[in-house]
Amino acid sequence: MMNKESIQYERQREEMVRSQLESRGIKDPAVLAAFRKVPRHFFVSEALRDQAYGDYPLPIGQQQTISQPYIVAEMTQALELRPNDRVLEIGTGSGYQAAILAEIVYRVYTIERLRPLYLQARSLFDEFKYHNIVTRCADGTNGWQEQSPFDAIVITAGAPKVPEVLIRQLAVGGRLVIPVGNQHTQDLIKIYRDENGTRQFSLGGCRFVKLVGEHGWKQV
């Protein structure tokens, strides 16, 4: 049974998919279906719930943000996901991107360095029964060696450069998406790994909070 509130959010979600994603060229049916399903309003604080489907990022505490819906969709589509993929996300944050990934692929591994955000996301995954999301509280710039190689890796925080260690944890045929640049603006970069090495493409400009860690920015 759906109550009045959830019907209202479902309408807002449908409107978001049409006006922010489809109209801007998001086409992958699995990506669009995931956005129609995941209740984004539960991934922000109660006070911001009515703004959850807006065309902008929102604060999630700890000076971090949940990304604008379109950028989450663009990154997810760029990963070219298939149902059996195992995906690594670095920067769990609210958990929203991980939930989107979990709707599309077999298993998601996600790492968050800040314990309060890690705990909050973990409890949401349990509440919404995302049993295929494996979480870890650590510096994600080292990747997750024991679970590698990954079919896709997405870094949802801005890095000064591409951490080489992450490329080594990418399967042959794998895709990696990462914002690279200075602290104010970054270029969204997509890397393919094949038998011969890697190929790199730019997807355009973006703005993320800092990737802080051994192979990221050294300070907050």
**Rounded Cα–Cα distance for residues 194 and 137 (Å):** 30
Among candidate residues 64, 50, 74, the one with its CA nearest the CA of residue 94: 64
Instruction: Kindly identify the residues of this chain, within the stretch 143-172, that bind ligand SAH according to CB under 6 A.
Output: 156-157
The reply to whether 67 belongs to the active site is yes
- Out of 67, 94, 123, 202, the active site residue is 67
Q: Does 139 bind ligand SAH (CB under 6 A)?
A: yes
Find residue 134's DSSP bridge partners: 109
Single-letter amino acid, residue 154: V
Q: Quick check: 91 binds ligand SAH (CB under 6 A)? A: yes
| Nearer of residues 181 and 216 to ligand SAH, judged by Cβ | 216
Which are the contacts of 88, defined by CB distance < 8 A and separation ≥ 6?
108, 109, 110, 111, 143, 144, 147, 148, 150, 152, 153, 154, 169
Question: Is residue 209 within the footprint of ligand SAH (CB under 6 A)?
Answer: yes
The closest residue (CB) to ligand SAH is 93
Nearer to ligand SAH, 163 or 174 (CB): 163
Which residues contribute to the site for ligand SAH (CB under 6 A)? 64-67, 90-91, 93-94, 96-97, 111-114, 117, 139-141, 156-157, 209, 211-213, 216
Residues carrying an active site annotation? 67
